Amino acid sequence: MDKTTRSNESGVSEAIGFMLIFGMVIVGIGLVTLYGYPLLLKQQVGADEKIMEKNMIVLQNDVKSLAYKTVPFKETSLKIGGGALTIHNSSAANPSSNISIDNGVVASYLPPFTVNTRFTPGELRYESVSSQTDISLQNGAVVLRQHQASGSVMLAEPRWFFDTATNTMVINLVEFTSETIMAKEGIGTVQMSLTGEPYYNETLVPMNGNITLTYNPGTTQDYSVAWDNYIWNTWNIPQSYKTYRFGTPGTGNQVIYYLNNAGSTPMTLVIKIFRVNIKSI
């Protein structure tokens, strides 16, 4: 009996199998590096920015406690990721902005009045290296701007208000001072206290009397779009009081707001300035 045995002794080389598996690993690592890592990095940058937005609002509440609740000292520890937190005091060579409040043209038949306030607020500014974003605590408000865009947005409003029952306008201004130039990355502790007596001025603006509020942006830091949106749209002054606006926000030029006392009684204009000293970051 003839028995024939057939066998297939051909097979895949171990080297070829190793190269296939190694190639799949390399492709997987490449896909993760190409698509996954940038997305993870973007999420981390976004998380750092959101954390600093919340931190700035916390610091804004600290300033409110100092100015309006007569708390003598505030200290807050915070995480500063993806950038640096810097104090730019009101006496800096290139301030981020300044504000002027004056009386407008007074008609001869109106009682004379004088308003003449010049104010440079200074700021606590977070500068993000990765997202090219600035978040600033200035003049009692928290504002955000992108380096590559001319616009800005207000994240938390200042304490300016208008009482229609008594026809009273109150403008609270906050000035930042410091003894030295300070900047911080990583974990920092912001210590601040109120310094000096707050400035207080009360003026009676006659019916149909005008005041002008001028916002001058800094040469490199222009937050005028955010402040314009607040002054012209969000601030609770009756629309009949907002008579005219001169200038275009976001162009680096000053914007002037003409406000008229359209009420039936003289308007009480109250201006307060609080000086907050940043002791450390």
229 in a domain, yes or no?
Answer: yes
> How far apart, in Å, are the Cα atoms of 138 and each of 22, 89, 96, 121, 266?
56, 10, 9, 6, 31
Q: Report the distance separating Cα 205 and Cα 186, nearest Å.
A: 49
* 109 — pLDDT class (breaks 50, 70, 90): low
- The answer to whether residue 238 sits within a structural domain is yes
Q: In 10 A of CB 269, how many CB atoms?
A: 24
Whether residue 147 lies inside any domain: the answer is yes
The mean per-residue pLDDT over the stretch 45-54 comes to 78
In a domain, 244, yes or no: yes
Other beta carbons within 10 angstroms of residue 264's beta carbon come to 7
Name every residue whose Cβ is closer than 8 Å to that of residue 148 and which is 6 or more positions away in sequence. Answer: 132
pLDDT for 274 beyond 90: yes
Q: Is residue 41 part of a domain?
A: yes
20, with CB counted inside 10 A (0-12, 13-18, 19+), is exposed
- Residue 49's CB is within 10 A of a number of other CB atoms, namely 19
The owner of tokens 């942006």 is: 217
What residue numbers bound the domain in which 57 lies? 15-280
On whether residue 6 sits in a domain, the answer given is: no
CA distance 172 to 155: 18
Predicted local confidence at residue 212, as pLDDT? 92
**Confidence class of residue 11 from pLDDT cuts 50, 70 and 90?**
low
Mean pLDDT of 84-96: 81
Specify the pLDDT at position 202.
Answer: 92
Most confidently predicted of 109-113, 177-181, 202-206: 202-206
Tokens of 182: 């300070």
- Measured CA to CA, the distance from residue 159 to residue 231 in angstroms comes to 12
Task: Assess if residue 8 is contained within a domain.
Answer: no
If one compares 15 and 278, the residue with the highest pLDDT of the two is 278
Given a contact cutoff of 8 angstroms between Cβ atoms, the answer to whether 142 and 155 are in contact is: yes
Split into its structural domains, the chain has a count of 1
pTM, full prediction: 0.81
Residue 5 in this model has a pLDDT that exceeds 60: no
Q: Which residues contact 269 (CB under 8 A, 6 or more apart)?
A: 115, 168, 169, 171, 202, 203, 204, 205, 211
Residue 51 forms part of a structural domain: yes
The sign of the dihedral angle between the CA atoms of 263, 268, 273, 274 is negative
